[in-house]
A and B are shown apart, each in its own frame.
Chain A
Amino acid sequence: KNQVEQSPQSLIILEGKNCTLQCNYTVSPFSNLRWYKQDTGRGPVSLTIMTFSENTKSNGRYTATLDADTKQSSLHITASQLSDSASYICVVSAWGGATNKLIFGTGTLLAVQP
């Protein structure tokens, strides 16, 4: 069964600190993995996308890593800001087939406090 699991479920950090979110997946055959940021009341917005051959991808203060062998990914946020408070969702796509549906994790709810 295709599944995406994330940890922790929620996280509170102080402004300026770093944090790392984890994602494990069992989606097969794997196509790509994305991290989305979802602000309250908004739709998910893509932060990074990685294919099988990519190990790391950065987008500003966000750095995602991918280990396709262990089927794990992480999202590292550097020098957190209050605006980073949101839900971070790991999303995996399976290769092939006529559709391009995405398989979502339940997300990590991050709260950055002053």
Chain B
Amino acid sequence: EAGVTQFPSHSVIEKGQTVTLRCDPISGHDNLYWYRRVMGKEIKFLLHFVKESKQDESGMPNNRFLAERTGGTYSTLKVQPAELEDSGVYFCASSQARNPYEQYFGPGTRLTVT
């Protein structure tokens, strides 16, 4: 069974540019989560999808971040325009509806904004 995959693995962009991160959850997992780890800090929750619906987006930093999960399959996280403080590692995780706490993480996308 394929795990959670994320693309790209690394992205380096200039301040003001736009970047889109993609996450493909494990097939059949209704729950999809985005997390972020900035340098020296703990991993923090950004938002949670149940299928295509946003269940909780209380962790999204501001309106420069837009997450979508059209069709309830893969998800994208767009940052527009990117700022220096957006640098970090963005993790995606997924879980089954019947066992939501058993979250499987992807390898992360390392975003560097210069």
Contacts and interface: CB of A to CB of B under 8 A. Distances in A.
B88 interface: no
A53 B56 CA distance: 28
Interface stretch (B67-75, B77-85, B104-112): B104-112
Contacts of B48: 99-101
B87 interface: no
A45 interface: yes
Nearest to B100: A100
A34 B44 CA distance: 15
Contact of A43 (B41, B59, B91): B91
Contact of A31 (B4, B42, B101): B101
Contacts of B41: 106
Provide the main secondary structure of the chain B interface.
strand
A99 B54 CA distance: 10
Interface residues of A, number: 23
B45 A102 contact: yes
B42 A106 contact: yes
Contacts, number: 58
Contacts of B95: 100
Interface footprint category on B: 20 to 34
B14 interface: no
Given A43-B4, A45-B105, A104 B44 contact: yes
A32 B43 contact: no
Interface string A33-46: 00000000111111
B105 A44 contact: yes
B105 A99 contact: no
Given A43-B106, A99-B55, A102-B45, 12 more contacts: A42-B107, A43-B91, A44-B43, A46-B102, A46-B103, A97-B56, A101-B33, A101-B48, A102-B35, A104-B43, A104-B44, A106-B41
Interface of B: 4, 31, 33, 35, 40-45, 48, 55-56, 58-59, 91, 93, 95, 100-103, 105-108
Interface of A: 4, 31-32, 41-46, 49, 89, 93, 97-107
